[in-house]
Amino acid sequence: MPRNRNTFSSLAAWRRRVLARAVQGGWRWVQRAGSVTAEHPGKLRFRRLGAGTRLAFPQGTVFGEPWIEIGECCIIAEQVTLTAGMLPDLDLGADTVLTLGDGVVLGRGSHVIADAKVTIGSDTYCGPYVYITSTNHSYDDPDEPVGRQWPRSEPVSIGPGCWLGTGAVVLPGARLGRNVVVAAGAVVRGEVPDHSVVAGAPAKVVRSWDREKGWQPPLRTPAPTPIPEHVTPEQLAALAVWEARRAGSSESVPS
């Protein structure tokens, strides 16, 4: 009897492994087939969708595509919401409402809500769950539920080369300059100068770059050493393997 139980347990484990591999392989195929690119846009008809850009599957809410322009080599992760206009199927006129420059990265679960004009400059990276909106609820009338009051809208501009950390919120009317760093969880409104670091809710400048003095206050860690241009991906992979083996051998040596 114990032998039979062992046999059935081994068979059940084998079936689970086979099923897991089939499900995982099928999901990877669905992700590849469901991703949106310029060559395979599916039902989404953006005003512009640049070469090398990919919207991962599953996408979040997407509407107003005729008023959305997305540049080249952008990475739009899973469950990212991109909307132009307050509701689907509105006529928003002749001008583009939402613009993503070349090389923009939007992390998983991020939202870009463009009822008014929203522009995100090239090579701006957003971590997961970043929220960028040109519209906010109003609460002028104390007797009317907030959700029923007409919202306020103002254009949003984010310059090129910025980094927005996980969970950052950019509110209507915000104007971020070039190479701005927004700390995780920060809530940004108003104008942020070039080469600034902002943090907090509401966000305040905590570090800025001066042409003569450099970063003020000074950075607490040295700048990372860049990878030499002549180093190939194969060499980097070989170096990673060598370092892993070295780390393993050093851990096995008794102290």
Contacts within 8 Å (CB) and 24+ apart, 7-11: none
Strand partners, 99: 69, 119
Q: Identify the DSSP state of 36.
A: B
CA quadruple 153, 159, 163, 165: dihedral, nearest 10: -10
- Distances 255 to 55, 103, 246, 250, 252 between C-alpha atoms, Å: 50, 48, 16, 10, 9
End-to-end CA distance of the chain: 49
CB 77 within 8 A of CB 108: yes
Amino acid at 234: E
Identify whether 137 is a catalytic site residue.
Answer: yes
CA distance 85 to 65: 10
Sort strands 75-76 and 54-55 into parallel, antiparallel or unpaired.
parallel
Q: Classify residue 164 by burial, with Cβ atoms within 10 Å: 0-12, 13-18, 19+.
A: buried
Q: Is the peptide bond between 58 and the residue preceding it cis, with omega within 30 degrees of 0?
A: yes
Encoding tokens for residue 182? 């927004």
Give the active site residue among 40, 111, 137, 195.
Answer: 137
Q: Could you list the active site residues?
A: 137
